[in-house]
Amino acid sequence: MSNNHPTLFKRIGGEQVVAELITEFYDRILTDPELKTFFKYTDRAKLQRMQSEFFSAALDGPITYTGRPLSHVHHGRGITKHHLGLFVGHLIDTLQNFKITEQDIQDIINRINTYSDEITGGVGQAG
């Protein structure tokens, strides 16, 4: 992107803001009774590092995501679109808490939603 049109990554504050945002976001996720079980055996530091990479790359930041493909990471975990909706709700709340503009929040959510099928395996509501 040119200097006249900063990337979404730069618009929200860059690497430091992404790191802080991911920390608060996972504080929310790991206390959500419907989501925390997905992370029961997950190393939080590694999770946050990988999520910061992914998030930064998805927002056109200068960081490359080095993790495994999302479809592999989430395969067989039973994550439904309902769970993804809760996840996105916590992301919206976190972004609002960081005073990210509504337009940037919408742009971020639109980008995250492009990965929906990779995360859920196309699975809808749970039973």
DSSP per-residue string spanning 69-111: -HHHHHTTS---HHHHHHHHHHHHHHHHHTT--HHHHHHHHHH
Q: Is residue 37 part of a domain?
A: yes
Q: Is residue 127 part of a domain?
A: no
5 burial via Cβ count (<10 Å: 0-12, 13-18, 19+):
exposed
Contact between residue 108 and residue 63 where contact means Cβ atoms under 8 Å apart: no
Q: Is residue 1 part of a domain?
A: no
Q: Is residue 64 part of a domain?
A: yes
Q: Is residue 3 part of a domain?
A: no
Q: Is residue 99 part of a domain?
A: yes
Q: Sorting pLDDT into bands at 50, 70 and 90, what band is 111?
A: very high
In the predicted model, is pLDDT for residue 98 greater than 70? yes
Q: Tell whether the torsion through CA atoms of 32, 15, 66 and 62 is positive or negative.
A: positive
User: What is the domain range of residue 94?
Assistant: 8-120
| pTM listed for this prediction | 0.90
Q: Sorting pLDDT into bands at 50, 70 and 90, what band is 122?
A: confident
Domain total in the chain = 1
Contact between residue 109 and residue 88 where contact means Cβ atoms under 8 Å apart: yes
Provide the pLDDT for residue 4: 77
Q: What is the CATH number of the domain that holds 22?
A: 1.10.490.10
Provide the pLDDT for residue 3: 59
In the predicted model, is pLDDT for residue 61 greater than 90? yes
Q: What are phi and psi of 87, to 5 degrees?
A: -60, -50
In the predicted model, is pLDDT for residue 125 greater than 70? no
DSSP 76: T
Q: Is residue 12 part of a domain?
A: yes
Q: Is residue 19 part of a domain?
A: yes
